[in-house]
Chains A and B, each alone.
Chain A
Amino acid sequence: MDVVTLASQLNAGTIIPEGIVTLTLLVVLVGDLIAGRKSASWLPYVAIVGLLGAIAALFVQWNGTSDTIAFLGAFNGDALSIVFRGIVVLSTIITVLVSISYVRQSGTSLSEFLSILLAATIGGMFLCGASELVTVFIALETLSIASYLMTGYTKGDVRSNEAALKYLLIGAASSAVFLYGASLLYGLAGGETQLDRIGIALSQIETPAIAPVVALVFVICGIAFKLSAAPFHQWTPDVYEGSPTPVVAFLSVGSKAAGFAFAVRMLVTAFGSLTEQWHFIFAALAVLSMILGNAVALAQTSMKRLLAYSSIAQAGFVLIGLIAGTESGYASVIFYLFAYLFMNLGGFACVILFSLRTGTDRISDYAGLYQKDPLLTLTLSICLLSLGGIPPFVGFFGKIYLFWAGWQAELYGLVLLGLITSVISIYYYIRVVKMMVVKEPHEMSETVKNYPEVSWNLPGMRPLQVGIVLALVATSLVGILANPPIDLAKASVQRSPILQASISPAKEVAVSRFAPVQSSEFRVQN
């Protein structure tokens, strides 16, 4: 059998984007070996070109074939996975842009950092489409192990060590718990590892059976760790504070998006017969995350810790869309993650730039920054306001869409709690903005008084500037031009068979009844 027939039998074309990223990883590793330390000047651009190639391949697939099952059921490259893989790759591109000067300044080598980051991307991309337990596990571990390594990458820094150790121990424990759940699933399904067959087998078990619920709880432990939803959030603030900031940028968006894709596929396909139970558990997680994340964020003095708790809270908001379980619910999850990509990465890019120039990330040190660096202040303010859900930025539309979808699915309590905690969150976001903008010149912090001359010509600063401007433009404009991404999100839900099967007919009617209202509502706002 020759290679071409084998590839077509396996439908290997669906993993071309991952193949491109893998190739880029090898080029980066080997290029560094051959060219030595000079290579640091061009390796990041190789990585970005490779990732853009992966985006292009994903784009071709979006318009491509309908046959999405690949590798005899191990991978499902449906529209849902394409959108999530796109989000993961985009977050990696921005992370590469903002990490160049940071890694250079921290005195560590860039090529290994890029290879580990690319490996994490590969793991995340495969996790978005994995539809079989073993593939899920290996993809999850590729993402996790690469994340542990990146967290501890600045090994001279004690806090980075500590963050890596905590992340590794908690992560490995949660993946062991997940695995125990997976082994129970394997047994309950009578020796099947494909998610859809597990789903069929589980639906044939007569109620009430305790074993599927135990398996569900164990699996959710693994998922919630990746989403950093409370009460599985303990690692988040420590890892965010201790690890190099570009890594945090990737973890908060790329890793989380992959986690959501994994959650949707796992729960909808394998636990379709336990929908009530997992909705209940996720509702509890959402409530805890929203309350805890927003309440504790109020008391933070470090910018990175503030963003850590804010990301816990944001995970809680996104869970509302997941629990809604309707077409617009899933679409709102995708749209919000897309919005979150730009606003959160923009925020982190600004934190990176500020800490590069001043060496601190204390919130009080940002006082009066407006006088010295208007671009940084503008971007950080817009990203934070967008995270808080203030119109007309993209975060506002994302949140409205999420809450609207939750309201349609009759999740009144959750949506109300989401609204209340959003208002609380606006307070701590505005506090930072006020600190930067409103202060009089004499109230300026010592750090800002010694703020260095803004110069973009230093090595590695141009890409950082590009990243910041990109995030700024996307955060402020996607809000106004929200229709294309919303259409994309909806189309991806409509074209994914696994989601269509799970959306119940009764809810479908309700959705179609309200759909015209929703689109006109958005037109009005635009």
Chain B
Amino acid sequence: MELQLQYFLLLAAFLFCIGIYGLITSRNAIRVLMSIELMLNAVNLNLMAFSNYLDPENIKGQVFTVFVITVAAAEAAVGLAIVLAIYRNRDTVDMEQFNLLKW
């Protein structure tokens, strides 16, 4: 029995859904950022799997993954800077308390 493309894709889908669950239910702003990282990792796994099984000669998926990793790092830095700024002013990272702006 060999490793199939579908195994990787199913794992990626599972990670993606866990990320979405964390995104919606988390109350800590930093945990929301972590959930987004989970989703991006799911995407990366998808890209790597496609790259290996469907595009083994050109491996464009691997290049795409490197770009996603780059952007994810930039996004995490900016996200934490914003979390720090809001923590300085509000002294909390609870998403439920961020309600100065009414939804």
Give me the interface of A with B, judged by CB distance under 8 Å: 133-134, 137-138, 141, 145, 148-149, 152, 155-156, 158-159, 161-166, 168-169, 172-173, 176-177, 179-180, 182-184, 186-187, 190-193, 234, 237-238, 241-242
Contacts and interface: CB of A to CB of B under 8 A. Distances in A.
B71 A187 contact: no
Interface of B: 9, 16, 19-20, 23, 29, 32-33, 36, 39-40, 42-43, 46-47, 50-51, 54-55, 58, 60-61, 63-64, 67-68, 71, 74-75, 78-79, 82-83, 85-86, 89-90, 98, 100-101, 103
A183 B65 CA distance: 10
Contacts of A163: 101
Which secondary structure characterizes the binding site on chain A?
A: helix
B50 A186 contact: yes
A510 to B, nearest CB: 41
A306 B38 CA distance: 36
Contacts of B42: 180
Most chain A beta-carbon neighbours within 10 Å: one of B19, B29, B89 = B89
Contacts of A141: 71, 74-75
Given A138-B71, A176-B43, 19 more contacts: A158-B90, A159-B100, A161-B82, A161-B89, A162-B100, A165-B29, A166-B98, A168-B79, A172-B36, A173-B20, A179-B43, A183-B43, A183-B50, A183-B64, A186-B47, A186-B50, A191-B60, A193-B60, A241-B101
A162 B100 CA distance: 8
A192 B55 CA distance: 8
A145 B75 contact: yes
Which secondary structure characterizes the binding site on chain B?
A: helix
B40 A191 contact: no
A149 B82 CA distance: 8
Contacts, number: 121
Given A173-B36, A191-B58, A180 B46 contact: yes
A205 to B, nearest CB: 14
Contact of A193 (B64, B78, B86, B90): B64
Contacts of B71: 137-138, 141, 145
Nearest to B98: A162
Nearest to A171: B75
Closest 10 CB pairs of A and B: A191-B55, A161-B86, A183-B46, A176-B39, A187-B50, A238-B101, A179-B43, A155-B85, A191-B54, A141-B71
